[in-house]
Amino acid sequence: MLRLPSILSLAVLALPACNDNSAQQANRPAIKVTSTEQQQLHQLDALNLAIGLKRAIYDAGYTCKRITDAGFVGTYKNLDMWMAHCVYENGTPRDWAIFAGPDGSAQVRDCRDMPGTGLPTCEIKQRPKGSFDEIRKS
């Protein structure tokens, strides 16, 4: 039969192990899941990026006459955020945020709706190879 002091010392020794779990989780590296589609967007030149982002905008039910600037904004959780600057036939500009997911999906939001949501601001940090000047002329 174990004596009471031995049982108490075992219980005291076990307590730090219970609290150690949160420290292990904090030290665990974050896992980022990406898709081939997300990776391919980073490889596109300006013309093809404009085509891809315009397609995402139209698939979401919005319109965009011409993209005159676009680029990578950053990563938000497991989504890659892109921004497209559209100009419509009447000359009205509109900026769109396109979130590319690891499942190949795309979510589109009007950049005017972003402030106050906790989402990143629509500010291009990395532009694609090539020039949007060619796109502007077409």
Residue 25 lies in a domain: no
Residue 11 lies in a domain: no
> In whole angstroms, how far apart are CA 23 and each of 19, 20, 26, 28?
8, 5, 5, 9
pTM summary value? 0.74
pLDDT tens, the chain, 138 aa long: 545 455 444 444 454 555 556 556 667 777 666 777 788 899 999 999 999 999 999 999 999 999 999 999 999 988 999 999 999 989 999 999 999 999 889 999 999 999 999 999 999 999 998 877 755 555
Residue 94 lies in a domain: yes
Query: Domain span at residue 95?
Result: 36-137
Residue 125 lies in a domain: yes
Residue 109 lies in a domain: yes
Domain count, the chain: 1
> In whole angstroms, how far apart are CA 52 and each of 71, 73, 75, 105?
11, 16, 18, 12
Residue 31 lies in a domain: no
Residue 53 lies in a domain: yes
Residue 130 lies in a domain: yes
Contact present, 136 and 69 (Cβ < 8 Å): no
